[in-house]
Structure 1
Amino acid sequence: MRICVFTEPHRGADYDDQLRFARLVEAGGFEGFFRADHYQAMGADPGLPGPTDAWLTLGALARETSRIRLGTLVTSATFRLPGPLAVMVAQADRMSGGRVELGMGAGWYEREHTSYGIPFPPVAERFDRLEEQLAVITGLWRTPAGERFSHLGDHYRLVDAPALPKPVQVPGPPIIVGGRGAKRTPALAARYADEFNMPFKSVAETARAYRRVIDACDRLGRAEAGRPPLVLSAGVVAAIGRTDAEARRRAAPLHVKSALPPEDPVVGSPAQLVQRLGEFAAIGTERVHLRLTELTDLDHVELIAAEVLPQVADVAAGASRAR
């Protein structure tokens, strides 16, 4: 099982906060640093000093880290046109030496769209746009050098694009598609993604989501087409402490009213987080994105790196034997 850290800078973090955090994540032995792609906090707190753009930030972090994977969970299809987004991600991939991943979603938080003048179409259209964006982005990356790419769709029209720059990773940076949707999300993951992510729900709910996406892969004939199986990942909210009081302090932001749907956090000791990781490993989870709320709480990262990561290999091995 591979462990990444997921952060939410829109809650209140500038670039320097994220840089310190990402460097500590790298030093601590985590696989990756992923961040949300939002332009506004979801509660009453405005999230001072204000938002930072996800891909501008990741491009900078690409030059100031050397090992960790870097990416979004997730970039909203409403925020950027697919052609320029393909250029941004490919450039960040080159800047990182091939360490970038692109999580994509349909977009859901209407308030930030209204605040920043971003169109927010109905949900069916947002999913249509997401599907088309995935087709465009992967098509651009996979177009051989020297050839042109065109796409005539309902929402996007590209004519004779040179499909440059090329990312370092071939055929392109890994695509992550995830979410709780029962129909379109599994189908999109089966067709376009390298990883399916179920964010911040219980083990049982996550197992049901895995089943849906595996069934979608079977219907599509993904294995017969010679494509590798989807990586199955889970988001886990963590508030871990050496004492109960420390864990409760870290969990306090989780109780603030927000627009987020209900979650299933781990609040407690390192041993409790190890146990939960074992439960996820038992249902086939290969990668976990730990959501740590406060980017200024560097001790939280160090605690998990010291007392949880060393046990992860044993947890995954035990779950494999049990299956």
Structure 2
Amino acid sequence: MDFRIFTEPQQGASYDELLAVAKATEDLGFDAFFRSDHYLRMGDGDPGYGPTDAWTTLAGLARDTSRIRLGTLVSSVTYRYPGILAIQVAQVDAMSGGRVELGLGTGWFEAEHKAYGIPFPPKRFGLLEEQLEIVTGLWSTERGETYSFSGEHYTLENSPALPKPVQSPIPVLVGGKGASRTPALAARFATEFNAPFPDPGTIPGLFENVRRACVEFGRDPDEIVYSAAQVLAVGSDEASFVKRAAAIGREPAELRVNGLAGTVSEVVDKLGALREQGVERVYLQVLDLHDLDHLDLVAREVVPQLGE
């Protein structure tokens, strides 16, 4: 089971604060540092520094880290034209020496679009389908050849399809809880399918939908990595767990139901249960970016108990 750190910088975090978390992620042996791609704080509270741009952040981390993989969970199709996105991701991949992954989704947070003047069309799934086809098509076009595409939402004519990423292919993550359309997209384009904050007991069904879609598409379902994202709040004892729950504004009882939360032994058991449900990779959503001792506790006392 892979363990990745997942942050929500739109709640208010500067680059330097994110860099501290990314360096801890790398030093403590976690697999990757991922961040959300949002521009507006969710909920009340002090916005602090405010938002940072996801791919600008990852470009900086590409130069300031050396081992961990870097990506978005997930970028919204409403923020960038697909041709520009393909250039950005390929460039950051080169800057990192081939450590980038792209998570792409439809977007959902209408308020941030209004706050920053970003169009938010009511129907966005078609945008996602075309963007996935375009970015993967641009990256896979042979050097010296051109790429063209004509769809309902985007048209590209004789693109040089440059620059090329270091990785071939760049891993692409698709996630969601839809029963048919999202699994079909995962089967066509994804190297990883993510179940984001799944309701208890729903993971096997979500994964089975993707496996079925892969078979229908003529693809081996085992080619895809199956992952889940859950909020993290672990304490060495009950008192420290309660303190960490309070720090992120959550009730301990609710967190125990909906997250990787509780004492070390509880969280080890929860992760073991996720593995039995087919989860191969876990995104640990860290909401208190200043509590680096939290990451240290997980690396020292939780991860080693899961083994390989």
CA distance in 2, matches of 1:186, 1:121: 22
CA distance in 2, matches of 1:233, 1:217: 16
CA distance in 1, matches of 2:158, 2:46: 43
The corresponding residue for 2:276 is 282
CA distance in 2, matches of 1:131, 1:158: 15
Q: Which runs of 5+ in 1 are unaligned?
A: 257-262, 317-323
User: Could you tell me how far 1:203 is from its partner in structure 2?
Assistant: 4.8
The corresponding residue for 1:302 is 296
The corresponding residue for 1:59 is 59
Partner residue of 1:219 out of 212, 216, 221: 216
Q: Deviations over 1:125-154 (max 9, x none)?
A: 300000000000000000000100011111
The corresponding residue for 1:255 is 250
CA distance in 1, matches of 2:204, 2:242: 28
CA contact (8 A) 2:54 2:72 kept: yes
User: Could you tell me how far 1:249 is from its partner in structure 2?
Assistant: 2.1
User: Could you tell me how far 1:244 is from its partner in structure 2?
Assistant: 1.4
CA distance in 1, matches of 2:109, 2:216: 31
What SS does structure 1 have at the residue aligned with 2:40? Answer: coil
The corresponding residue for 1:99 is 99
The corresponding residue for 2:198 is 201
Q: Which runs of 5+ in 2 are unaligned?
A: 252-256
Q: Deviations over 1:52-75 (max 9, x none)?
A: 000000010000101001000000
CA contact (8 A) 2:227 2:281 kept: yes
CA distance in 1, matches of 2:245, 2:198: 16
What TM-score do you get using the length of structure 2 for normalisation? 0.95
What SS does structure 2 have at the residue aligned with 1:212? Answer: helix
Q: Deviations over 1:28-69 (max 9, x none)?
A: 000000000000111022522110000000010000101001
CA contact (8 A) 1:69 1:100 kept: yes
The residue type equivalent to 1:156 in the other structure is Y
Residue 261 (structure 2) pairs with residue 267 (structure 1): yes
Residue 144 (structure 2) pairs with residue 152 (structure 1): no
Partner residue of 2:224 out of 230, 236, 248: 230
The corresponding residue for 2:254 is none
The corresponding residue for 1:321 is none
The corresponding residue for 1:320 is none
CA contact (8 A) 2:176 2:194 kept: yes
CA distance in 1, matches of 2:109, 2:16: 26
CA contact (8 A) 1:238 1:273 kept: no
The residue type equivalent to 2:121 in the other structure is P
The residue type equivalent to 2:27 in the other structure is A
Alignment of 1:34-45 (within 5 A): 34-45=34-45
The corresponding residue for 1:13 is 13
Identity of aligned residues (%): 52
Residue 175 (structure 2) pairs with residue 178 (structure 1): yes
User: Could you tell me how far 1:228 is from its partner in structure 2?
Assistant: 5.9
Q: CA RMSD in A?
A: 1.4
Could you list the structure 1 runs, at least 4 aligned residues long, displaced by more than 3 angstroms after superposition: none
CA distance in 2, matches of 1:175, 1:254: 32
CA distance in 2, matches of 1:17, 1:197: 26
Alignment of 1:16-95 (within 5 A): 16-45=16-45, 47-95=47-95
CA contact (8 A) 1:248 1:267 kept: no
Moved more, 204-213 or 73-82: 204-213
Moved more, 191-200 or 241-250: 241-250
What SS does structure 1 have at the residue aligned with 2:125? Answer: helix
CA distance in 2, matches of 1:199, 1:26: 23
The residue type equivalent to 2:73 in the other structure is L
CA distance in 2, matches of 1:99, 1:197: 19
The residue type equivalent to 2:70 in the other structure is L
CA contact (8 A) 1:203 1:279 kept: no
What TM-score do you get using the length of structure 1 for normalisation? 0.91
Q: Deviations over 1:265-301 (max 9, x none)?
A: 1221122111111111112111111111111111111
